[in-house]
Structure 1
Amino acid sequence: MSSRDDLAVVRRLYAGFAARDTAAIGAVLHPEVRVYQAGELPWAGTYEGPAGVQAFLGALLGHVDPEVEVVDLFAAGDAVVQVGRSRGRAHATGRTFDASEVHVFRVRDGLVVRFEAFVDVAEFRRALEPVSPAARAR
């Protein structure tokens, strides 16, 4: 496949995520897909296989309601890289976030086989962590 084809696969993945369409997401996942989320976040870690992707999305969407803005998407050797922003609200606190992010994808046989997410962890943690009563009193 060409870089152009790999970019199209990743665009379909983002379209599926934006629509919260699990069938569309699953349609572009390789059976051996691995997801890695960096940082100390409730959904961080490594997830394997389509069931792992569902677990990752469940953990992510169980804590936050994000919308991804793709600022740039480009091929870099055998990778597809997305530079963008994730904006939304944390469920538990109601606080909003606006976090920078970089996603790195590997595509094999027309399907996403690896997805690595690197985000502004501090921004997500600020939105996720409850405000203490003492801090609210200030």
Structure 2
Amino acid sequence: MIRDICKDVLFLARKSEPATPEDLPVAADLLETLEAHADGCVGMAANMIGVAKRIIAFDDEGTYRVLFNPEIVKKSGPYETEEGCLSLTGTRKTKRWQTIKVQYQDEQFRVRFKTWTGWSAQIIQHEIDHCEGILI
């Protein structure tokens, strides 16, 4: 189901709770909502659709991917950039990392590790910030 984009700054500033297998329908809604906004959005966190759970969805070089409970465990290559967000007006400057290693759970809630670089890494960092209640 395509959900409305949450613009409530107080809600978005709350730290999200860990996702569980019961949250699989939220992930499906998150993906569907992301696909519906593909013309202007490359990633979303569950709080952007009004659910305070640690779930992100993003366009990983042409393939949509969902990560449950993502955590950055290693990072390198800091740089400054500017980002926008569907939930917020305008753009903001921020620091990002060129390469990140992420620990996450897949759809079967198995722990996985993957290293991303470049644009995909930037998207993931933005969405993990959402999970942490950090507004960028």
TM-score (norm 1): 0.26
Larger RCO (CA under 8 A, 6+ residues apart): 2
Greater radius of gyration (CA): 1
TM-score (norm 2): 0.27
